[in-house]
């Protein structure tokens, strides 16, 4: 039976510009190696068969903001980013980044 779950993951553009293979991580811990130049816009996890949609973001934004299960804004990891993974940040660090990202969004809307 196929797993029909779909996962969306963000990838920093800088990570796929070089000639090095890029490893996409699934929520289950599975890893998928993508060889350059990246042509896939989705891959399937070999471990849990979840379809992973790859959303490439130009450059290295560090983090993106999304909506958590509780409806509150939450930080999402950008794979391939040089920034610290979110699960390695303290609560204070996470809040500071979240605030910064929110301020950026406000700044852009006001322009
Ligand atoms: Zn998986």
| d(CA 27, ligand 1 centre) in Å | 6
Q: What's the whole-model pTM score?
A: 0.79
Distance 25 CA to ligand 1 centre (A): 8
7 C-alpha to ligand 1 centroid (Å)? 9
What is the Cα–Cα distance from 32 to 21, expressed in whole angstroms?
10
Task: Name, in order, each residue with C-beta under 8 angstroms of 105's C-beta and a sequence gap of 6 or more.
Answer: 65
What pLDDT score does 18 carry? 84
Whole-number Å distance, alpha carbon 32 to ligand 1 midpoint, is 9
The token pair at 71 is: 């409806």
Give the Cα separation of 93 and 84 in Å (integer). Answer: 10
**Tokens of residue 83, six digits:** 């920034």
Please give the distance, rounded to the nearest whole angstrom, from the Cα atom of residue 107 to the centre of ligand 1. Answer: 37
Across the range 23-51, mean pLDDT stands at 94
Q: What is the CA(24)–ligand 1 centre distance, in A?
A: 10
CATH of 6-57, one of 3.20.20.370, 3.40.50.620, 3.10.660.10, 3.40.50.10860: 3.10.660.10
Domain ranges of the chain: 6-57, 63-110
CA–centroid distance, 109 to ligand 1, in Å, is: 36
- C-alpha distances in Å from residue 22, one per residue of 3, 19, 37, 44, 61: 24, 9, 10, 15, 17
Q: What is the pLDDT of residues 71-110, one digit of tens each?
A: 888 888 899 999 988 889 999 999 998 888 778 777 766 5
């Amino acid at each position: 039976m196929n797993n029909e779950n779909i996962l969306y993951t963000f990838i920093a553009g800088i990570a796929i510009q070089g000639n090095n293979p890029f490893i996409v991580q699934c929520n289950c811990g599975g890893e998928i190696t993508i060889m350059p130049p990246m042509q896939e816009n989705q891959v399937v996890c070999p471990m849990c068969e979840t379809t992973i949609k790859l959303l490439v973001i130009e450059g290295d934004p560090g983090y993106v903001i999304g909506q958590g299960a509780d409806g509150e804004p939450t930080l999402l990891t950008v794979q391939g980013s040089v920034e610290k993974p979110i699960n390695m940040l303290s609560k204070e660090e996470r809040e500071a980044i979240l605030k910064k990202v929110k301020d950026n969004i406000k700044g852009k809307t006001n322009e």
